Chains A and B, each alone.
Chain A
Amino acid sequence: MARHEVRLPQLSMGMSDAEIIDWYVEDGEEVAADADLVEIEAEKARQMIVAPHAGVVRDLQGDSGDVVDVRGLLCVIES
């Protein structure tokens, strides 16, 4: 079983962190690749972070309103 860490990508120059708007998955949910995981808002715009792999979502980090640093852990996908 592989464990893939999903980290917050830097979506634009100057982006240092983002706020979690809403999770679109729950712990233990099975997702396909490219499924919506979490909507985040950086200074410029809201964006959806999608699953880089198919698998089971684990270890959701943070809740709506929490701030995650760029390259900070968002969740883990087990496949």
Chain B
Amino acid sequence: MSAPAARRKPVRAQQLGFLQAINRAQHEEMARDGSVVLMGQDLRANVFGAAAGALEAFGPSRVRDLPLAEAGSIGVAAGAAMAGLRPIVDLTVASFVFGAMDQFVSQLAKARYMFGGQATLPVVVRAALYYQGGTAGHHADRPYPMFMNVPGLKIIVPSTAPDLLGLLKSAVREDNPVLCFEDANLWGRKGRGPAVPEDAEHLVPLGSAAVRRPGSDVTIVGIGLGSWLAKQAAEELAADGVDAEVIDPRTLVPMDWPTILASVRRTGRCVVVDPANRTCSAASEIAARVVEDCFDALRGPVVRVTTDDTHVPFSPALEKQIYPTQAKVVAAVRRALA
């Protein structure tokens, strides 16, 4: 190793990172409740970055590296929950949910209902959305809208580290299955948020949206990275005198309809930014509900900014154009205002 030239200690902002938030939520909840267990792939080696120290802290009975068996893993979590545990399953890549679809739908979502309320399923399934990063067709899906179509599941898509910490802790305490979709584009600086004191109990309730920027001319609802694009677009539009309100739903099921609908009633315009594929996206549901419930207040079309209905191409020359961008959000707002 050559002698380091610079030796200044970097001054780092006291901020909470995305993966730190996950790790902290898991640690705090496992320490609080002995029935919480963590199961996932490559936890011991912490390959996915959110399980540092878990094995050492809680032991191999409560921290289990799963064999590669997505369907089995989700079903095992469902059964373990029915028999008294509160499993957190790290499914790692959101595209891996498809191999477990029957267990998600037929067991996790339906058991409570089919058995007349006898089953309780406190299961948290975590899965990261790895789009924009050259992972291509089999690793870049954003499949949360499919699960919005399945009653019995709750769905969170946090977009800041403090929200992730607070929502994940609430999810672990839920007596319902919660799917946590983590936008991996927020692993870097974007997803960081204000530090939360170590001794603070930071809980964010499910079903509560956050107003990221108050405004009066148009409501932009942004999901995951979409909330950041919405905020950037709002700042760009402010220079032209357009005052946009930015709402991050944070939870998709149950959706905080009162906050979204009240905002649209005030602004009369609505744009929804959703990284999911366009058809039957979360944006589609929000748009439909806004039109149904705010038709009289609307003064322009409700516009969706989504990923186009295509698969994720590998080449960097192809990939990024299919997703929502700041420019697309700005254009959508202009259309809504026209």
Q: Which residues of A contact B (CB under 8 A)?
A: 10, 12-26, 29, 31, 35-36, 42-45, 64-65, 67, 70
Contact = CB atoms under 8 A, between A and B. Distances in A.
B2 A31 contact: yes
Interface in B1-60: 1-12, 17-19, 49
A24 B1 CA distance: 9
A70 B189 CA distance: 12
A-B pairs with lowest CB-CB distance, top 9: A14-B184, A44-B49, A64-B10, A17-B188, A43-B187, A26-B5, A16-B188, A65-B10, A24-B4
A58 to B, nearest CB: 14
Nearest to B191: A43
B2 A14 contact: no
Nearest to B11: A65
Contacts of A45: 49
B190 A44 contact: no
B232 interface: no
Nearest to B132: A16
A61 to B, nearest CB: 14
Interface in B141-199: 184-185, 187-190
Contacts of A25: 2, 5
Nearest to B5: A26
Contacts of B190: 16
12 contacts: A10-B133, A13-B93, A17-B189, A19-B189, A23-B6, A36-B2, A43-B18, A43-B49, A44-B19, A64-B6, A64-B9, A65-B11
Given A24-B3, A43-B17, A65-B10, 11 more contacts: A13-B133, A14-B130, A23-B4, A23-B5, A25-B2, A31-B2, A43-B18, A43-B49, A44-B19, A44-B187, A65-B11
B139 interface: yes
Given A13-B139, A16-B190, A24 B5 contact: yes
A31 B7 CA distance: 18
Given A43-B18, A44-B19, A14 B12 contact: no
Nearest to A44: B49
Interface size class of B (residues with CB under 8 A): 20 to 34
> Binding site of A, secondary structure by majority: helix, strand, loop or mixed?
loop
Contacts of A16: 132-133, 184-185, 187-188, 190
B2 A22 contact: no
Nearest to B12: A65
A67 B189 CA distance: 8
A14 B11 contact: no
A46 to B, nearest CB: 11
B135 interface: yes
Nearest to B1: A36
A21 to B, nearest CB: 6
Contacts of B135: 13
B19 to A, nearest CB: 5
Contacts of B8: 22, 64
Contact of A15 (B3, B9, B11, B188): B188
B19 A43 contact: yes
Nearest to B316: A71
A28 to B, nearest CB: 10
A15 B132 CA distance: 10
Interface in B84-104: 93
A14 B5 contact: no
B244 to A, nearest CB: 25
Contacts of B128: 13-14
Nearest to B8: A64
Among A12, A14, A42: residue with most chain B CB under 10 A: A14
B134 interface: yes
